[in-house]
Structures are given as C-alpha cells and as structure tokens.
Structure 1
C-alpha cells in the first residue's frame, strides 16, 4: 500500500476555497489503489486502470444497416429505375461471396456486405417482380452501409485510463472482444463516528443522546462511489483512545473518514488525536455548510474529519472528499456540472463562502425549471436532504439572489 508523507496536505493559505482544496488534492496525492483484472460482468462502476485499445475494427466488416438489397452503385441508373436479378439471400452471420455486376443480393440488417457491393437499398423503396427487383433512382452511393471501423477503428483507445466504467463502456469493451478489463482495486475506507452522545441506531438511547445517523449515510454514499467502506463504529471523546484507534485503522485502509469533533470547541478532540497519531493540516474551507474539515495523515494513511452536522457531512463528502476518492482511486476527476435552474426566491447572504442551498425544483408555466428554497435550512436538519431535490450552488462572491437569477443545480439523483 502506498504511504503518504506527513506534509502532503500542508495548506498554503489559512482558509481555502473548494476549488483550491480540490487542486491541492489532485496535484499532491498519489494513486494508492492497486490493479486487478475483473470480468466485464463485475466491472460496472470500477475505475479503468489503463487505456483499453481496440484490437479489431468495430464493426469488423462492412455490413448492412437495414433490410434491403445490396448492389453496386455503378449498376444503378442515374435517371430512372433499375431492374436487377436477385442472386442470393444474406442473413446476419452468413458468409457472402463476391457480387457480380448487374445483380443484387437480398440482405438483412447486420449481414456482411458481399465483395463488390457498396450500397444497400431499403426493402420499402423497391418493387419485387418475377424478373428481379426494381430499384428507384436517386439512391446515394454508400447508402445504408456501415463500413468496418465506423464505430471504432483498430488501434484506437476505446476506454481511457481513469474512467469510471458505465454500462455503455462495458458494451464497447465486449464489442472489441474483451472478456475482462484491468481496473483499480476498490478503495478501503475506514469510517468512524465520534461523540459521547451517540448511540447505535436500534439501540437504547440515553435521554441526552442521539442515534448516530452520519455513519450510515456516509458509508452508503461511499459505496455508491465504488469504495469498500468499512464500518468501524463509534469513537468516544477520549483523545488517547481516538489516537490509538486511528493508528489501528491506518493499517489496511487507504483512507480514514470520521465525522464530528473537528471544530474548535473544548470537546472537539479529533484534531488533537490526529496530531498525536500522525500530522494534521486543519483546513477551514470557504464552504457552507461545512466550514470545519480536518485533513491529515495517520501512519501514512490520509485522514479526513468531516463536520458532525449531517447536512454539512453530506456536502463536504460530495464536494471535498469525492475529489480525494477519485485521486486515490485512480479516477479522472471532473467537476460536477450543475444543471441551470431559475431561482424562484430572494435571499440576502454574506459573501465569501460557496454555499449549497437545499432546493426543490419544479417546471414553471413557461417550461423553465425553477428552484424554491426548502423551508428548514439548518445543517443538522436531515429532512432538508430527504425533502429536497438537490443543491443550488451559490458562488462565493454573491451577496444576493433575486427571483429569475440562474444558479447551478446539483440533483441528488445525478450525484451518486
């Protein structure tokens, strides 16, 4: 397993934007996930470990795009219809022989073109007679013919390294004859929650306690991103115990992720525990919700401490930890592209932090998509995540949003 240096997260500024944090992650961290080969049936969502090139043309031979008649274009009349005798019948999979001049072959979709034929006339456009097939004028040379390599040429890169594989990528890999593909091993992520107030969901809850909701959410989100997320339970607010457990987690994991205990209060012990077990670069990010995010290294393993409020944990995982996962896991990171929506609300705000507002989106009378604010905006309000459609992404420089302003919208359904 690749080990990191203690100062790899060392920030150059005390408060970083999300863009600056992402740039630091992508420029300073190595890929840590190894490589394995898996069958295509198991490759969906995995990261391509190397370029996959086409060993053959796709399609591998010229073939017909329709049911019709294969002909030589030079045999067709320029001014009127043409009568050609039908020589043979070519279903898909048949091995054709050369087509002689002044003849046609009945051909079906996907069938290999006979040598000499360069054009297919659709069956709907012809007249079949006892003497042969009557072909209309006005046919274009090469019509309804799919040439070899039209989809992808032999030697071309079919799947680039770093791509998170999708069903369509697997279809292309199958078309070029690959039964398996080299992918990055799934990142092993240790997930803790921290806090004396937490109890396991389903367990007995003290009168002053709460059920731990963050860990369940974070593990589910990580698994949707292809990580091997491992539940390591709840850590109590004891600096010595925290440091020991973090050192243990560093062995056999590619990333340690916690939530809670990373702010500046007297009972926020995670930062000190990380400093004791390794090194800490405490990032204050210009993001809302989610300003306190701790990053560091424990025994060569990267560590991220997320805020304890559920919405802040969700936002920072989506927009701060995700680039980290992409980099460590060998994926090419792309910035989330929000869909433009029109604000149907007014909001004054203090500039300086990129803010993710929970919004509901509906279709307005003029057909445009409009966003309305979810009525409860607290960062501890889980129902603001379950009751909204996604985030409106507000740039850090804006001090006001007026109805009609266009914002980028990140739909929950498209984020994971």
Structure 2
C-alpha cells in the first residue's frame, strides 16, 4: 500500500490541461480563464464627478463664501462642451465628465444656489470628489492574469473592460462507469438482492460542482462483455472513473478485463480508510481512477484525488481540502496503519474552535451519516489515543469544494 500523499503525487504527475474554447462573458462565471484579459478601454474614460454638486476652478475659492455664475449643467452620460472661465460654475451630477477648465467638485450640501448663481460656503482642494481618467484601469492594462477561476466579481471587471468574450479551458469530460449486477438506477424496478446505484450521482454532482462535465456511461454487469461494451464511450473523455469492481475478488473485473483493452495500472491500494482499494492508471491514453464501490469511500476519494485531478485538467493548481483545527467532544481510540477519514458533526464551539463528535457507526456504505456530517476528522497512521477536548484535524464538508 502507498500513502495518501504518494497516491496524490502519482495521480497528478502527468495530467495536462484540456484545450480551450471561447464563451460569452455571461457564461464565463466559474470557468478557468486561459488567457490574460487586456482592457479594451480606459475607466473612467475622462475625469468624472464622484458627487452631485458644482464643477469649479479651485482658483475661484481663495475666499469663502464665493458667488459663482452658473453657466450650464451636465448629467451622467452627457457633456458640457464649452470651457469654464473664472467666476463660473457648472451644475454637475455623479458620473458626469468634468467640463474643460474645472478641476474640483463642490458638493451640493456645501452651497446655496438659484437658477443663475451658486454661493460656495465651504472650500475644497484641487481634485476633491474627482475620479481622474484611468483611476480604475487604462486601455491595454492586464486586468486579470490567467489561469484564474472567474468569480462574479471578475465578470463585473471584464464587463467594465468592455470584454464580451473570454477564452477559457473547456470543461473536462469525466466518464463515470458503475459496475455490478446488484445495481439499479433510482426509480427502476429493484430485485430482492439489489441496491440503488447512488455512487455515480454523488460523484457526478461533485464533478459538476468542481467545474467538470460528468458523462454517465451507465452500469456494467459483472461480465467481461458488458464491461467492454460500456467502456467504449470513455475513450472520447478526458478521464475515466470506474465505481466498484477495482479490487481482487472473483467478481472484480476492472483489472483483468480492461487490462486487455488498454488499461495500464500504476497502483491499486492506498493506506487509507475508507478507500483502500483505489486504483489509478491509464486507459487508452487518458487518466483512469478505479473508485471503491462504497459511496462514502467514493466521496472521500473524490475529495482527495478526483477533484485535484480535475483542477489539473482545468489548468489550475490542484487544490487540497481545507483543514482546520477542532476539539474532540469525546475520547478516541488509537489508530492503525491507515490514514483515517471519519464522518463527524459539529456540536458547538470552545475557545474559537469547533467541537466535533464522530458518528457512532463509520461504515463506508452508510449514506445517512454522510449526508448529516459537517466534516471529516482526519487521523494519521498510528495516531495515539486521544482524550475528550484533544485537538484534531477537521476537513469541513463545504460545497462545491473547500477553498485553497
């Protein structure tokens, strides 16, 4: 068996980013920008007023109060195309360009005014309430540097930079193949010895939330012909995920059958719980992960290995699940040789840290505790027994995925 860190390194070692495509800015949120974004305009394009008031010359404000002649007004989106001379002022509104000859704004609250005259009651330094041209960015500036997962804030910036289309990494296509005679889809007729196939939907939801495109290849029966037929469509994907059948039992066919179809196995056992029988290799030139059949194992392996691989395919630095410190709400026995990931719930807080308690049953087939869990408690191999109140590592089960 290899360690979790060694497995992660092996999986990520040779994964290359997928190609690019151009999408409308309105469809770019959450996508990975593949090229630097250069501004197509200067913002603001001219000196602009930041307040409602009067555009004036600071040279006219040597003595206060000062009466100035109002010679016009300029709203946002408009312009005053004459030069303002000494003793004159222009009524101006937020977002309007400063008239030629003016250099400061007197806010409306600091004046008394009529239709023809404004009395300035409070002076102001040059540039007061003026947004100079290019304050935010200038044409040709690199506004965003690739690679970058585009946030809603980034979309706003790109729009202001007058960029309607963005070059992004295409969504990696991740093929999912479930295996086992015992599986049926939700809602289908179910036999007395069968179970619902939940793994593929769980993993597909994680893939979609993390920026990939999940392709469901269906359920392969426990025979070589069915497995070969179902896996054909995986060759057009960027990665293949098999769910179940990756161990060495009589009915575990992934290695013997796909080995004849182009599967080269790098490793297939990891010193972790749950998830020990994880397989990694290459299938017809694309990365392949053979997930355990239990849904909890599949989810934890997805957090640790699949989503980082998906990040690599998207051209960004592979993320690690966020860890933080928590306090045990009960005692815990010593660990064995495998790194353990246990489902837990947050029951309170002490000294600024969450207090966590494990679910009594940690069986990797149980989905109800997984759905109710707030976090995973991580224990190193051969970790000592711990008393109530001891500090432990916790991975919050946030969605779509813990941040870097």
Q: TM > 0.5 between the two?
A: yes
Offset, 1:317: 1.1
Identify which of 31, 50, 53 aligns with 1:68: 53
Aligned to 2:193: 208
Do structure 1's residue 297 and structure 2's residue 297 form an aligned pair?
A: no
Aligned to 1:7: none
**Secondary structure at the counterpart of residue 278 of structure 2:** strand
Aligned to 1:8: none
Offset, 1:93: 0.6
Bigger radius of gyration: 2
Offset, 1:233: 1.0
Offset, 1:350: 1.7
Aligned to 1:180: 165
Offset, 1:270: 1.6
Aligned to 1:230: 215
Q: Distance in 1 between matches of 2:154 and 2:3?
A: 36
On the 8 A contact 2:218/2:230 being kept in 1, the answer is no
**Secondary structure at the counterpart of residue 347 of structure 1:** coil
Identify which of 240, 246, 260 aligns with 1:262: 246
**Secondary structure at the counterpart of residue 155 of structure 2:** helix
Offset, 1:366: 6.9
- The higher relative CO (CA closer than 8 Å, separation ≥ 6) is in 1
Q: Distance in 2 between matches of 1:286 and 1:276?
A: 27
On the 8 A contact 2:28/2:166 being kept in 1, the answer is yes
Q: TM-score by structure 1 length?
A: 0.83
Do structure 1's residue 193 and structure 2's residue 181 form an aligned pair?
A: no
C-alpha spacing 1:199/1:150, structure 2 compared with 1 (3 Å): same
After superposition, the C-alpha distances for 1:43-85 in whole angstroms (9 at most, x for unaligned) are 22222222222122233333223323333445444x8655544
Offset, 1:397: 7.7
Instruction: Between 109-118 and 184-193, report the one with greater CA deviation.
Output: 109-118
Instruction: Between 211-220 and 221-230, report the one with greater CA deviation.
Output: 221-230
After superposition, the C-alpha distances for 1:138-162 in whole angstroms (9 at most, x for unaligned) are x455333323333333333323323
Identify which of 113, 122, 127 aligns with 2:98: 113
On the 8 A contact 1:274/1:296 being kept in 2, the answer is no
**Secondary structure at the counterpart of residue 172 of structure 1:** helix
Aligned to 1:92: 76
**Secondary structure at the counterpart of residue 149 of structure 2:** coil
On the 8 A contact 2:346/2:356 being kept in 1, the answer is yes
User: What are the ranges of 5 or more consecutive residues in structure 1 without an aligned counterpart?
Assistant: 1-13
Aligned to 2:89: 104
Output aligned runs, 1:333-412, within 5 Å. Answer: 333-338=318-323, 341-350=326-335, 353-361=338-346, 364=349, 369-394=354-379, 398-400=383-385, 402-403=388-389, 405=391, 407-412=393-398
Q: Distance in 2 between matches of 1:174 and 1:377?
A: 49
Aligned to 1:55: 40
Q: Distance in 2 between matches of 1:121 and 1:286?
A: 70
C-alpha spacing 1:107/1:245, structure 2 compared with 1 (3 Å): same
Instruction: Between 352-361 and 158-167, report the one with greater CA deviation.
Output: 352-361
Do structure 1's residue 415 and structure 2's residue 401 form an aligned pair?
A: yes
Count the aligned residue pairs.
397
After superposition, the C-alpha distances for 1:184-221 in whole angstroms (9 at most, x for unaligned) are 22222221111122122212222222111111212222
Identify which of 11, 14, 23 aligns with 1:38: 23
**Secondary structure at the counterpart of residue 317 of structure 1:** helix
**Secondary structure at the counterpart of residue 120 of structure 1:** strand
Instruction: Between 260-269 and 317-326, report the one with greater CA deviation.
Output: 260-269
Offset, 1:313: 0.5
Do structure 1's residue 17 and structure 2's residue 1 form an aligned pair?
A: no
Identify which of 136, 142, 145 aligns with 1:157: 142
User: What are the ranges of 5 or more consecutive residues in structure 2 without an aligned counterpart?
Assistant: none
Offset, 1:283: 4.1
Q: Distance in 1 between matches of 2:401 and 2:302?
A: 11
